[in-house]
Amino acid sequence: MLELEAVTKLYGSVIGVNDISLTLSRGAFGLVGPNGSGKSTMLNLITGQLRPTIGRVRVLGESPWNNANVLRQIGMCPEQDVLYPNVTGLEWVRYLLELRGWRGQAATVRATEMLELVGLGAAMQRRMGGYSRGMRQRAKLAQAIAHDPQLLILDEPFNGLDPVGRHAIADVLHQWIAKGRGLILASHVLHEVESVTDSFLLICHGRLLASGSIPEVKSLLAEVPNEISVRCDRPHELACLLVGEKTVDSVRIDDDGAALLLSTRNPAVIFARLPEWISEAGIRVHEMRCADDSLHSLFHSLLQIHRGHV
């Protein structure tokens, strides 16, 4: 579906994306990274709005730059939500369909169906200037899927949506994935990506940090210490007990002196023995937190590796 070969994009002396190589087969992928990490540049390269300074981009087997054949098979929902204020949602989606070759009545019917699918059926005859942000997001999604593309690219599609709207859009995307179509969903909010797909590309400072499913990326982190926070009444005593333990890499007390932070490569051993130590010493534990299996923890750990902190 997507192939990037040593792709670098420079804006003058500023690096947009840096030496990204990647091959994605058809499926759904979350493109995750903080703001300014290069997500939009990568999407612009994929949609043929930008040419790589170095390297090669192939989408559905062809270069997307000025390539109508590729663009015909791509649907894009950009991050920016400003639309023509004096045009109705129906007119706009129909217009974009007509530009893609749909004719009169068929375009109207299709636009109506898609707007109803995203929950804008009642508002499609209203001018978009009066739409809420969530309604504009829905209209953008409708135009992106209206021509039934092979690859759907969404940049921050959940922005401005209320929880009900997020759920509804996530449902639409699940149906999309179930049809076997390609999806790239860019977001800086990790749980949004997790709600749609468990495969992702993690990008930071223009570089691809990791790609694959959560278990695949976790395997990269086998040697990365997990951090466990224990909030208790006597953290210094607990620290003394843990220092002698071989599986513990480091122990420190947090700034307010109420919690102990320990780092370990083998959290399972610690979890097994911690209750025993606590009960023997009579320490009262108020709260215990550890890195979980969420995308957030993976993102955090990979960034630490990337920045050389680990």
Partner 1 sequence: MNPRTIWTVFRFECGRAVTFARLSVWVLLGVFPATLLVLVQNNGARLESDGRAAVAMFILIPELLCCMNLLLAAAPLIYAELEGKTWTYLAINPAGKASILLGKYCAAVLFTVVVGWFSLAFSLIVAWPDTEPLRVAAVLAILVPLASLVYGAAYVFIGVIFLRRAMVAAVIYTIISEVLIGFIPALINQLTMQFHLRSLLAKWIGWGLIADPLRMNQQFVSDAPAWQHVVFLLGAAIVFLTGAITLLRRRELTLSVEV
- Binding of partner 1 at residue 226 (CB under 8 A)? no
Residue whose CB is less far from partner 1, 142 or 238: 142
Among 51, 133, 191, 286, binds partner 1 (CB under 8 A): 51
- Binding of partner 1 at residue 4 (CB under 8 A)? no
What is d(CA 214, CA 291) in angstroms, rounded to the nearest whole number? 14
The residues facing 152 across adjacent strands are 75, 183
The contacts of residue 94 (CB under 8 Å, 6+ apart) are: 102, 107, 108, 111
- Binding of partner 1 at residue 44 (CB under 8 A)? yes
- Binding of partner 1 at residue 34 (CB under 8 A)? no
Burial 276-307 (b: 16+ CB within 10 A, else e): eebeeeebebeeeeebeeebebbbebbbeeee
Among 23, 69, 125, 213, binds partner 1 (CB under 8 A): 69
∠ CA 13-156-174 to the nearest 5 degrees?
135
- Binding of partner 1 at residue 59 (CB under 8 A)? no
- Binding of partner 1 at residue 142 (CB under 8 A)? no
- Binding of partner 1 at residue 252 (CB under 8 A)? no
Residue whose CB is less far from partner 1, 91 or 198: 91
Among 26, 72, 252, 289, binds partner 1 (CB under 8 A): 72
- Binding of partner 1 at residue 74 (CB under 8 A)? yes
Stretch that binds partner 1, among 89-97, 162-170, 182-190, 229-237 (CB under 8 A): 89-97
Alpha helices by DSSP H, listed for the chain, are 39-46, 68-71, 89-99, 104-117, 133-145, 163-178, 190-194, 214-220, 235-243, 267-281, 295-306
Among 37, 112, 137, 143, binds partner 1 (CB under 8 A): 143
- Binding of partner 1 at residue 105 (CB under 8 A)? no
What is d(CA 45, CA 299) in angstroms, rounded to the nearest whole number? 23
Among candidates 187, 202, 214, 189, which has minimal Cα distance to 294?
214
Task: Convert residues 268-297 into a mask of x (bound to partner 1 by CB under 8 A) and - (unbound).
Answer: ------------------------------
Q: Cα dist. 230→28, 192, 280 in Å?
A: 37, 29, 16
- Binding of partner 1 at residue 86 (CB under 8 A)? yes
Binding interface with partner 1 (CB under 8 A): 11, 16, 40, 44, 47-51, 66, 68-69, 71-72, 74, 76, 78, 80-84, 86-87, 91, 95-96, 98-101, 143
